Amino acid sequence: MRICSVRSTLFARRFAYRAFHYRSAVHNQAFFCAVFSMPIIFAGYMAYQQKLFLKLRDHDAQIAEHVSQAYDTMYKKNYVETDAPRYFHDIRHISRVTYYVKVLYHLYRANDFTREIFSEDDLRLLQIAAIFHDAGRQADGKDYWDKESATLFYQHCVNHLHVDSARAQMFAEAILNKDFQPDPSRLSPVEKSYWKMKRFGDVIKWDCIADYPGEKTLAQRILHDADCIDIQRIGGLSFCKEYLDIDHFGSEQTESLVAEVKQLIEIQGDPFELTVFNDGTCYRQTKELIENNRDKFPLLYGAHRDDYCVAPKYSTLRF
């Protein structure tokens, strides 16, 4: 009986000893795996952070790519119905208007002309709206195709960019209502009609609201000013800064902005019917032109910089 007890005790001790060392070996293996895998994990983390950093800083590169795609699919071609070539509403006009959007947003914010705040995604969508604002045109001259342009933008956002439909609708309505102007005291033509989008599944319709009592949104003002200020590309027309919505707020920078835009248009050749800058790289070339001549374009260069007025992560817009 005593012998059995001793054997049982020895067996239990031996089992406990082996179990302890086995557990220690497992722990050691896990420890060494963790230690040696840390550089790999850290390298992966740094690569992710670099990718995220580049994504956050790559706003203009993304817009340049959107402009390039728009040129290949829309603005490179003649007008469909008339087969007339695009001239006044070509990719040069589109690229400049898209560039002005960011400048104007920063000016509105920096001068405290608005309480509406765009996130970086909102600002990017507004620039894409600028790219599409003439997409539905079938001829130069008066724009009778704003609804088509706004619809094309909405469909692109929802079907290809997977933007929330309410958010896409707000910016689509900004395209159609950018010229909404109920104030008869302004130099701009009075336009009291306001358009609202109605969605019926995949079918989009536009309802006109006569004598709309509301105010223009910031997105509508920016698109209006960006498109309006570039009318200086059409020779023989006199341009007044009072046409711009931002001038209505008493901006002291409007005259400088108008003068710089006029100089930019002349360099890009619009009044002289040249074809320079007229390809898919136009937005990138326009941005580089301004950056390389920042002494000539201090406002266009400075107000386009992200540090001029930092876009917050979240917006105050409601959809």
pLDDT in tens, 279-303: 999 999 999 999 999 999 999 999 9
pLDDT in tens, 94-129: 999 999 999 999 999 888 888 888 988 999 999 999
Residue 33's pLDDT is what? 43
pLDDT in tens, 31-70: 444 334 444 433 443 443 333 333 444 788 999 999 999 9
- 197's torsion region: left (phi>0), alpha (psi -120 to 50) or beta? beta
Confidence of residue 27 (pLDDT cuts 50, 70, 90): very low
Q: What is the DSSP string of 171-215?
A: HHHHHHTTT-B--TTSSSPPB--EEEEEEETTEEEEEEETT--SP
For the chain, percent of residues with pLDDT exceeding 70 = 75
Q: What is the pLDDT of residue 23?
A: 47
Which positions ≥6 away from 94 have C-beta within 8 Å?
67, 70, 71, 75, 130, 131, 133, 134, 282
pLDDT at 26 > cutoff 70: no
Residue 283's φ and ψ, nearest 5 degrees, are -60, -45
User: For the whole model, what pTM was predicted?
Assistant: 0.78
In the structure, what pLDDT confidence band is assigned to residue 238 with cuts at 50, 70 and 90? Answer: confident
pLDDT at 249: 83
Which of 127, 120, 165, 124 minimizes the C-alpha distance to 315?
120
| Contact present, 124 and 98 (Cβ < 8 Å) | no
Over residues 73-91, the mean pLDDT reads: 86
Q: Which of 84-88, 241-245, 280-284 has the lowest mean pLDDT?
A: 84-88
pLDDT value at 28 more than 50: no
User: Per-domain residue ranges for the chain?
Assistant: 1-57, 60-308
177-200 pLDDT per residue, tens: 999 887 766 666 667 789 999 998
Q: Which residues face 204 on adjacent strands?
A: 199
Cα–Cα distance between 153 and 178 in angstroms, integer? 14
Average pLDDT, the chain: 81
Residue 151: pLDDT band (50, 70, 90) is very high
